[in-house]
Amino acid sequence: MLTRRTFLESSAATALATRLFAAPAGSNKPNAELESLGAVALNEAKKQKATYCDIRIIRYRRQFVNVRLNPERGTGKTLEVPNVADTGSFGFGVRVIADGAWGFAASPFVTKDEIARITREAITVARANAVLQSRPLVLAPVGAYRDRWQTPHESDPFAVPLEQKLELIRSAAAEVKKGKGVFAAGCNLSFRSEDKYFASSEGSSIQQLNLQTYGQVNGTAVDMKRGISRSRRFQPPQVTAGYEYIPIMNLVENAQRVREEVIEHLNAPAVTAGKKDLVLLPSHLWLTIHESLGHSTELDRALGYEANYAGTSFLTPDKLGKERVGSEIVNVWGDRTNDRGLATTAYDDDGVKTTKFPIIEKGIFKHYQTIRDQASLIGEKESRGCCYADSWSSVPFQRMPNVWLEPGKQGTSLDDLISGVEDGILIDGDGSFSIDQQRYNFQFGGDAFWAIKGGKKQGMVSQVAYQSRTTDFWQACDLIAGPSYWQQWGAANDGKGEPGQINSVSHGCSPARFRQINVIVTD
Amino acid sequence: MMTKEQAKKLIDKALSFSTFPECNINLNSSESASIRFALNGITTSGYTIEQSMTISSAKDGQTGNTSIDEFDDNSIREAVKRTEALALISPPNPERVPPLGPQKYAPYENFAESTAKARNDVMIPHVRAIIEGAKAQGLVAAGFFEREASAVATATKQGNFGFGRQTDASLSTTIRTQDGSSSGWASQPAVRIDQIDGAAIGKTAIDKCVRWKNPKRLDPGKYTVVLEPTAVGDLIQLLGFNFQARSAEEGRSFLSKPGGGTLVGEKLFPESITLHSDPFNSLYSGLPWGGGGLPAAPMAWIEKGVVKNLFYDRYWAAKAGKAPTPFPFQMVLDGGDKSLSEMIASVERGLLVTRFWYIRNLNPKTVQFTGLTRDGLFLIENGKVTSPVVNFRFNESPVRLLQNTIAMGKPVRVRGGEGQGMIAPPLVVKEFPFTSISDAV
């Protein structure tokens, strides 16, 4: 029988990838073998007279552990259904500029011969594209770096015994299932590592390890007689961190709350439609920030690069520095450097050192998110480091940094927000979300809703969604809780681009209040 | 891309490393090429080779899963070992079903060499036609052209083995005015790339863009709508997941009967509504097996308005004492013979919808969704398209949409902005609820 020891041995990843990404303890230089492989692409590109080349060699590992507790058909006995998966992916992608056009090719066969062949494929693609090049490519200048960086962490989540993870999620799910009337409960943990080597013809050689940690606990209640089912979920902030973050999630403690709230949700009356004040918790507001402010301030969208899919933006370049998006208290940052942010890294996929920059200052739109080949199109001299590809087989393009809302004044509390509301709703957690292709009109649901009457939080209501326009909504923001309430939540699967790619991104905020927003009843 | 012989050899190798009584292997090998364009020029373009092997090992219900994309002996051996180690640490899965023995798969393959081989030299002329068409009218084109060829294999330690190949291609374009005040869209998916007609797609999108200028604002409310096939597919494809027997029997579905039981056999829709899966329809690039490795088979979900079948996976089927059914992939909504213009002519006052966007579920039980119109919304008055209309947000269920359908046109294969699309006809639907105005272009 295999033991945990043999499991750890077999989990030591595949031999080639492990060897390539290994480095002497304490080294801040990339692995020499990776550098040698990267040089193959750079030399081949030079030989073929490409004017730019970069290569990314990447190993991914993902682990997912889930348990679902639900009644067995016919007997009502509770079944514990586990799902355990540990997956890997390894390959490389080469990006070139030849005859003034981009070309890209990728392969899972990481050998010197294949790297040279794929580099030539990328050049063939670029030269073919050059016949329909609409404007010459101009790359913003970048430094040449030789560096090694990793997500700050104390404990490698892949080294933690699986039994420990299974026991935690089983305990949390069991806490939810204890509730009389809870139909099903579930809990999961997942971990992702991205071990990435980047080399460019502009002199960079960078190796980075990015570690992400996710968790979730949920419950579902069903009333067969009334034909109603409702759910409640606690999805702690997804972060870049090691296993040391798991205890901070407080999954079991929050499971107890989920147990009580899913039953309350099942019996909650429908909201009454109309204009209401909203108090939005960070667990909910992060998604509103993401959709309405995060995506609308992407330069590629504003210029039309996403016109066929994700759309453009109401924030066109002529509005830069002038457009009032929110009230005076709305200050929003783009940031790829903050602690535990899902988009936090030291260098982007253009090889640009990442940074923090203002997007909205006192309600006015100040800066776009940019990458090297688009910065010059709005007269900027440097990229803001927002380039990312979700796989070795994907083309790098502009993706969102962590976009966060500055907290309000020190001492402003959540109670201060609620006490100023005569007729409103407090919303926790994210739910349904939909926004138009220029980011004006949106409609958001949530995971749990409480009525606020006469400045006090009351019982739960259900079937809530609110509709607004981005600028109307953010100009209706009249109070934000202070720094002690600031929390960072995020998305692991933000989609954009053709072919579609995903991105992980965090959005921090404190609870905030919005006046007279249109609330509707969903059926 | 791997051949059947290569796939069999890799699978046999993986199974030879297995020490557990159960081991399922799925192999995927694909090659794709794509061109993305915007601002009347190519922006990015790529050629990608990908492969993956997923392995699931089980003993006494204890199960472990992994996937890899390195196929050397050592990597495969380590991956099999890993699944077995994961299984031994995992508690038994009470819903694990026994592995499949040899299955009889229909000799079906919808694979076009012309699609599998196509590179930029084949694709660029279509992109050029669209861009030149747009430029000629002072407009701006964006779009995406992709083709993929894949080889897929499935196998179990109990002797099942299946191999299939498929190709698919898709071209879509969005045409906008220079000032961003109007937009039009068109798309064409096809198994054979030589069926794709870039010039025609471009012409349709250009025409929409030109006609949508200076849209008028109408009040939100319930309208009769003529939904073009893509708009129908955008919404009806979402119904597929709602035919699950399990959620219906557990009271979590629109097909749950209040108090218990399901609505199978009930006439919930008009006589004209028939919704089915058709994995062997030549418009699709299908495989001879469906989810779980069972042979693919056509299946009716709604027949002449009556809920006909539910999706039973192998576990739930065994519990319910039923035969398993295929998952509702490759959906087809049957239609009629009317052309789109005939359908428009039948409407006294209504709206013509090109497609929907950002559709998200509001209530899983009622299957209510929200989303927006995009890239061409027009007013119909006395049977004629009279003026462009500013976009709307809707809150509606595809269930209610089918119940309110009053006329159907000729089905075509469609793919919108989200999901894999389906084969859908244009529809005339009454009382479609638009809840707010979207100024987006």
Residues A122/A123/A127/A129 CA torsion (nearest 10 deg): 20
- Would you call A229 and B143 a contact, using CB atoms and an 8 Å cutoff? no
Same domain, residue pair A286 and A263? no
Beta bridge mates, A38? none
Residue A14 lies in a domain: no
pLDDT tier for residue B41 given thresholds of 50, 70 and 90 = very high
Same domain, residue pair B219 and B186? no
A196 sits in the region (left: phi over 0; alpha: psi -120 to 50; else beta) called beta
Which chain A residues in 389-448 lie under 8 Å from chain B, judged by CB atoms?
393, 395, 397, 432-441, 443, 445
Q: Which residue of B has its CA nearest to A229?
A: B252
Interchain CB contact of A465 with B (< 8 Å) = yes
* Residue of B72, B142, B365 with shortest CB distance to A229: B365
The yes-or-no verdict on residue B352 having pLDDT over 60 is yes
- Would you call B69 and A90 a contact, using CB atoms and an 8 Å cutoff? yes
Provide the CB-side half-sphere exposure for A161 (13 A, CA).
Answer: 11
- Name the residue range of residue A306's domain: 274-521
Same domain, residue pair A285 and A251? no
Q: Identify the residue whose tokens are 């494809």.
A: B237
C-alpha to C-alpha distance for A247 and A17, rounded to whole angstroms: 31
- Predicted confidence (pLDDT) per residue in A142-164, tens digit: 999 999 999 999 999 999 999 99
Same domain, residue pair B121 and B239? no
The yes-or-no verdict on residue B81 having pLDDT over 70 is yes
Write down which residue in B157, B185, B210 finishes a domain. Answer: B210
- Predicted confidence (pLDDT) per residue in B204-259, tens digit: 999 999 999 999 999 999 999 999 999 999 999 999 999 999 999 999 999 999 88
Write down which residue in B181, B210, B239 finishes a domain. Answer: B210
- Predicted confidence (pLDDT) per residue in B132-162, tens digit: 999 999 999 999 999 999 999 999 999 999 9
CA distances from A486 to A253, A373, A483, A509, B148 (A): 21, 34, 5, 5, 45
- Would you call B50 and A108 a contact, using CB atoms and an 8 Å cutoff? yes
Same domain, residue pair A129 and A187? yes
Which chain B residues in 58-87 lie under 8 Å from chain A, judged by CB atoms?
63-70, 72, 74-75, 78-79, 81-82, 84-87
Residue A210 lies in a domain: yes
- Predicted confidence (pLDDT) per residue in B171-186, tens digit: 999 999 999 999 999 9
Same domain, residue pair A404 and A510? yes
B329 to chain A, minimum CA–CA distance in Å? Answer: 21
pLDDT value, residue A24: 65
Same domain, residue pair B352 and B403? yes
Same domain, residue pair B233 and B100? no
Q: What is the CATH number of the domain that holds B89?
A: 3.30.2290.10
Tokens encoding A349: 């996929």
**Under 8 Å CB-to-CB from B350, ≥6 apart: which residues?**
B223, B224, B225, B226, B379, B380, B428
Write down which residue in A240, A267, A294 finishes a domain. Answer: A267
- Predicted confidence (pLDDT) per residue in B361-378, tens digit: 999 899 999 999 999 999
Same domain, residue pair A258 and A312? no
Q: What is the CATH number of the domain that holds A101?
A: 3.30.2290.10
Same domain, residue pair A356 and A255? no
pLDDT value, residue A3: 38
Same domain, residue pair A390 and A256? no
Q: Which residue of B has its CA nearest to A161?
A: B89
Residues A427/A431/A437/A441 CA torsion (nearest 10 deg): -30
Same domain, residue pair B322 and B238? yes
Write down which residue in A236, A267, A298 finishes a domain. Answer: A267
C-alpha to C-alpha distance for A86 and B63, rounded to whole angstroms: 12
Instruction: Determine the residue type at B399.
Output: V
A358 to chain B, minimum CA–CA distance in Å? Answer: 26
Residue A6 lies in a domain: no
Q: Which residues, given as ranges, of chain A have pLDDT below 70?
A: 1-16, 24-25
pLDDT value, residue A85: 94
Tokens encoding B420: 């894999």
For testing contact with chain A, the best of B48, B212, B217 (most A CBs within 10 A): B48
Residue A19 lies in a domain: no
pLDDT value, residue A27: 81
C-alpha to C-alpha distance for B99 and B94, rounded to whole angstroms: 14
DSSP B90: S
Write down which residue in B150, B175, B210 finishes a domain. Answer: B210
Same domain, residue pair B230 and B158? no
What is A202-268 written as a DSSP string? TS-EEEEEEEEEEEEEEEEEEETTTTEEEEEEE-PPPEE--GGGHHHH-HHHHHHHHHHHHHHHHHP
* Residue of B66, B91, B359 with shortest CB distance to A85: B66
Same domain, residue pair A218 and A280? no
Residue A74 lies in a domain: yes
The three-state secondary structure class of A291 is: helix
Same domain, residue pair A68 and A140? yes
Residue A221 lies in a domain: yes
A221 sits in the region (left: phi over 0; alpha: psi -120 to 50; else beta) called beta
Residue A9 lies in a domain: no
pLDDT value, residue B286: 83
Q: How many domains does chain B have?
A: 2
Distance of CA A241 to the CA centre of its chain: 14
- Would you call A436 and B438 a contact, using CB atoms and an 8 Å cutoff? yes
C-alpha to C-alpha distance for B176 and B131, rounded to whole angstroms: 11
* Residue of B120, B256, B357 with shortest CB distance to A125: B120
pLDDT value, residue A9: 40
ipTM confidence score: 0.95
Torsion angles phi and psi, residue B11, rounded to 5: -65, -45
C-alpha to C-alpha distance for A79 and A387, rounded to whole angstroms: 45
Same domain, residue pair A326 and A243? no
Q: Which residue of A has its CA nearest to B441?
A: A438
Which residues from chain B sit within 8 angstroms of residue A307, using beta carbons? Answer: 38, 140, 142, 174, 176, 183
DSSP A294: I
Write down which residue in A267, A297, A323 finishes a domain. Answer: A267
Residue A296 lies in a domain: yes
pLDDT value, residue A15: 57
- pTM as predicted: 0.96
- Would you call A132 and B260 a contact, using CB atoms and an 8 Å cutoff? no
- Predicted confidence (pLDDT) per residue in B376-393, tens digit: 999 999 999 999 999 999
Sign of CA dihedral A376, A381, A386, A388: positive
- Would you call B119 and A81 a contact, using CB atoms and an 8 Å cutoff? no
pLDDT value, residue A14: 53
Same domain, residue pair A232 and A152? yes
Distance of CA A305 to the CA centre of its chain: 21
- Name the residue range of residue B190's domain: 4-210
Q: How many domains does chain A have?
A: 2
For residue A338, give the nearest of A323, A355, A350 by alpha carbon. A355
Same domain, residue pair B248 and B130? no
Q: Is B5 exposed, middle or buried (0-12, 13-18, 19+ CB in 10 A)?
A: exposed
Cβ neighbours of B17 (radius 10 Å): 17
Q: Kindly give the interhelix angle for B120-136 and B198-211, rounded to the nearest 10 degrees.
A: 30
Which chain B residues in 19-58 lie under 8 Å from chain A, judged by CB atoms?
32, 34-52, 54
